[in-house]
Amino acid sequence: MSGKHIKNKHSDFHAKSFFRVKVYGIFLLIFLVSGCTEDTHTQSPNILKPLWVPCVTDGFNHPEEKDGYIGGMVSYKGYLYIGKDGCSFGIPDVPVKMYRIRHGTPCTEWEPVVGDGAAMPEGFGNRNFTQYNGVIVFKDALYVIVEVNIWRTYNGIDFELLVGSGGIYPSGFGIGAFFINEPQIFKDMLYVYTNGFTEANTIWRTSDGNTWTPVVGGGASTPAGFGEGVDVGKICAFNDHLYLIADTSPFNQVFRTEDGVIWEKICDDMDPYANIWRQPIVFKNYIYIPTRFYGGWKLGQMYRSSDGMTWESICPPGCPMQYYINELTVWEDYLYIGTDDDDRGCKIFRSTDGNSWELMAEKGFYDSYVADRNYVISSMAVFDGQLFAGTGSWDGYPCQVWRSNFPASSVHLSLTGWKPVVVTTLVLIVSMLIWKFKSMFMN
């Protein structure tokens, strides 16, 4: 057999192999095109995306309770707890309630733990309590902040009052405190802060939930707070420091402490006339801080820092922003932000680096936005390997809860119908093609 004949034989073999691979590739392309256009969920009204599924659309069986929003989410001992506020923009409506869902159960099966027949009545027994200000897990207990009260539970059902009338601290954290706000854990201690009159802007901490010590305010090392006209905006633990972002005029200020007692000012010119009204978050060695402007004359921004000293302004696509950043959370390799947009409905974006952003949800999760329905993402949490998002509505619409329907590691998802199942199936088919290709050359 001549060498030329052997070469031609191999050429025929390669041609046939290449033809087979092209055929498999065509079938793969047909599969992907058909799979990427199918909507796997149907509901009336039609859901925009198979990326999200509705869990609660009627305010937890209370469609009559309008103008409310989801006030907090937290995963605790195999359950996801969701606090439902009874007010919108501080307008009293109905007392707070709380529900939970067990690990592994459908996201439509909720059990009441506050109100709706639970052992703890709505509003934690006070019909004037309409707003959650924080939920956090600290040392095997779930802490719940409602208005000016702090409650604790070890089983999610039986609550004990720590701060407030009838509790361990019956007088609360000082006269004139309007709210006890979002807690933070720093160096094995739980910190909370209050807002109110100037003398009521305080920070307290505890190591066990039973004994609380003031670290800013009356009786503390910083008794006068941080100066005239300085309100505590938010606090966040980052890089061995506890940061405090203060609402001031005309600029926001940033303070930090290593021990919770001695504070230093590190920035006094952040975003003039902005309010740091949402919780900062730490993501990939940066601290991110969202801001908001009241009055509608200027929209929000987001700042970040890698060292707490130098800050840069960033924002999602389309800057200047056409929406407010309202909620931030981290799910594996992504930073997720939820927005507040009365005109277009809430949106969800995500980013792996804080620079480029991918739109994951829009128009309040529906095909088209109906004014005031799901205008804001008010809370987010990761549970059972998925991202849960709570919304706020008003003017006749109840709050809702939605759950993601894609793996955390999925990349370049599309709002027009990319099905999560395609990711897994694609890997399988590509693996089969590689195996087939190798086997043709080996035989």
DSSP per position, 53-68: EEEESSTTT-TT--S-
Locate 362 and state its tokens.
């829009």
Per the prediction, the chain carries an average pLDDT of 78
pLDDT at 422: 35
pLDDT higher than threshold 50 for residue 416: no
Question: Which residue reads 């539970």 in tokens?
Answer: 153
Share of the chain above pLDDT 90, in %: 43
Q: Over the stretch 334-375, which tens digit does the pLDDT of each residue have?
A: 999 998 888 889 999 999 999 888 889 999 998 888 888 999
Q: Are 261 and 221 in contact (CB under 8 A)?
A: yes
Model confidence at 62: pLDDT above 70: yes
What Cα–Cα distance (Å) separates residue 336 from each residue in 82, 131, 224, 281?
A: 19, 24, 37, 10
Helix 3-36 crosses helix 420-442 at what angle (to 10 degrees)? 170
The pLDDT assigned to 293 comes to 64
Quote the strand ranges of 352-427, DSSP E.
358-361, 376-383, 386-392, 401-404
Average pLDDT in the 209-228 region? 78
Q: Is the pLDDT reported for residue 420 higher than 90?
A: no
Beta-bridged to residue 392, according to DSSP, are 69, 376
Pairwise pLDDT comparison (267 vs 264), residue with the higher score? 264
Residue 260 and residue 216: Cα distance in Å, rounded? 9
Return the number of other C-beta atoms located less than 10 Å from residue 23's C-beta: 10
Band of pLDDT at residue 53, cut at 50, 70 and 90: very high
Nearest of 97, 95, 63 to residue 83 by alpha carbon: 97
Instruction: Give the pLDDT confidence score for residue 94 in this predicted structure.
Output: 86
- pLDDT confidence of residue 254: 87
pLDDT value of residue 86: 83
What is the average per-residue pLDDT within 323-330? 88
Other C-beta atoms closer than 10 Å to the C-beta of 48 total 20
Higher-scoring residue by pLDDT: 227, 90:
227
Task: Give yes or no for residue 206 having a pLDDT over 60.
Answer: yes
Distance CA(384)–CA(73), nearest Å, equals 13
Residues 351, 335 contacting (CB under 8 angstroms): yes
Count Cα atoms within 13 angstroms, Cβ side, for 155.
Answer: 4
The CA distance from 202 to 325, in Å, is 26
- Segment 376-382 shows an average pLDDT of 95
DSSP string, 116-150: TTSSBPGGGG-TT---EEEEEEETTEEEEEETTEE
Q: What is the pTM of this model?
A: 0.80
Backbone region of residue 61 per phi and psi (left: phi > 0; alpha: psi in -120 to 50; beta: other values) = left
What pLDDT shows up at residue 176? 62
pLDDT > 70? residue 34: no
Is 286 or 430 the better-scoring residue by pLDDT?
286
